[in-house]
């Protein structure tokens, strides 16, 4: 990351906090050219936050455009009065959002008033979905960025794009995940490492780069807290037969959630996990080429199963409530975790009773 990019990622989130007029932080858009502004600031050595606060305090009237010399211009847009919903005006980033569960999470957040960023390695599909959300909810309400969660440079580039567009973020949903089910006796190391890299290491890499931006917002506006939510799995709470790579990565994710929660609480960041039960209708399970129903039938994980319907019926029978998990089930837990200010480091099961805390 260049010095200019690093400075941008410090200044923009701090501005969101400094200029906050309510519990919702404003959006801050960046251009790398100097234009006429309400405030012109030359940053010197020392604390960026202090210099920004001093400059804003001296401003004559509302500040809507700030020119930082040798960097560029920041334009501030307050949340529209017509915005409504449980996350109105918040900037939410969802990884793995081009399809399936991640896309449905992004769609629900947009419906509840958030500005949504769809982050995915398949940026073409994510862009199409972002355009659909903008057509439905308004220009500027969604964008797509290419993000490979296993690549720190890719994450940094994506977050820089987000900062340029919105100034920072209020919610980061770590949803991107993969699964390769196979016996420990036969699974190739490359498959085990692939699952671990995406589900476990990818979460670490994302939090490492997201947390400083949220911390800068909180330092400027201490009354506000921000949320990192990992979409984990019931397999992060109980083992999974012939699926050790996935369960291990998810168990590890819960350990990271608890550890990050303890560390980042001082920065106004809550870190929690949601552990859904089986999302049978999504591509992870139902993809006709390599979904879990296909994998489990092929590997003989369900004794006696002859068809995909046999496999599905077997897994539905394990749920006391008799059905798979849905996106609305998960969103209820997500909004609870965001609303609840006295909870961090939790792994909340949403499993229809299949996994119960004890």
Q: How many C-beta atoms surround the C-beta of residue 22 within 10 A?
A: 11
Pull the structure tokens for residue 343.
Answer: 């909870």
The span from the CA of 78 to the CA of 57, in Å, is 18
Phi, psi of 83 (to 5 degrees): -65, 135
Whether the CA torsion 158, 163, 165, 169 is positive or negative: it is: positive
The span from the CA of 94 to the CA of 163, in Å, is 15
The span from the CA of 337 to the CA of 323, in Å, is 24
With CA atoms as reference, report the closest residue to 27 among 86, 93, 91, 107.
Answer: 91
The answer to whether residue 246 is catalytic is: yes
The span from the CA of 261 to the CA of 303, in Å, is 40
> Choosing from 246, 296, 336, 342, which is the catalytic residue?
246
Active site residues: 246
């Amino acid at each position: 990351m260049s010095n200019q990019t690093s400075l941008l990622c410090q200044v923009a989130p701090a501005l969101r906090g400094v200029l906050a007029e309510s519990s919702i932080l404003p959006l801050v858009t960046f251009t790398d050219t100097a234009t006429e502004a309400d405030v012109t600031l030359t940053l010197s050595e020392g604390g960026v936050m202090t210099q920004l606060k001093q400059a804003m305090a001296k401003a004559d009237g509302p500040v809507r455009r700030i020119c930082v010399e040798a960097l560029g211009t920041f334009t501030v847009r307050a949340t529209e009065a017509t915005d409504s919903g449980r996350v109105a005006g918040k900037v939410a980033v969802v990884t793995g959002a081009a399809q399936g569960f991640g896309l449905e999470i992004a769609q629900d957040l947009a419906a509840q008033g958030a500005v949504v960023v769809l982050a995915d390695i398949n940026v073409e599909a994510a862009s199409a979905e972002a355009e659909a959300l903008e057509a439905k909810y308004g220009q500027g309400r969604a964008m797509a960025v290419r993000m490979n969660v296993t690549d720190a440079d890719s994450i940094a580039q994506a977050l820089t794009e987000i900062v340029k567009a919105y100034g920072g973020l209020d919610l980061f949903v770590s949803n991107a995940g993969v699964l390769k089910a196979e016996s420990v006796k036969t699974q190739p190391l490359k498959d085990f490492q692939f699952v671990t890299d995406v589900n476990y290491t990818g979460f670490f890499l994302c939090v490492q780069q997201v947390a400083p931006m949220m911390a800068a917002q909180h330092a400027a506006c201490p009354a506000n807290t921000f949320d990192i939510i990992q979409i984990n799995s019931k397999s992060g709470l109980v083992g999974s037969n012939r699926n050790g790579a996935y369960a291990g990565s998810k168990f590890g994710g819960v350990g990271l959630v608890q550890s990050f929660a303890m560390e980042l609480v001082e920065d106004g960041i809550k870190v929690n996990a949601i552990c859904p039960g089986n999302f049978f209708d999504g591509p992870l399970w139902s993809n006709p080429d390599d979904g879990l129903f296909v994998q489990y039938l092929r590997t003989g994980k369900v004794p006696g199963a002859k068809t995909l319907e046999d496999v599905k019926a077997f897994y539905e029978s394990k749920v006391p409530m008799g059905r798979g998990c849905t996106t609305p089930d998960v969103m209820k837990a997500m909004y609870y975790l965001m609303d609840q200010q006295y909870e961090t480091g939790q792994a909340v099961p949403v499993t229809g009773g299949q996994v119960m805390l004890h």
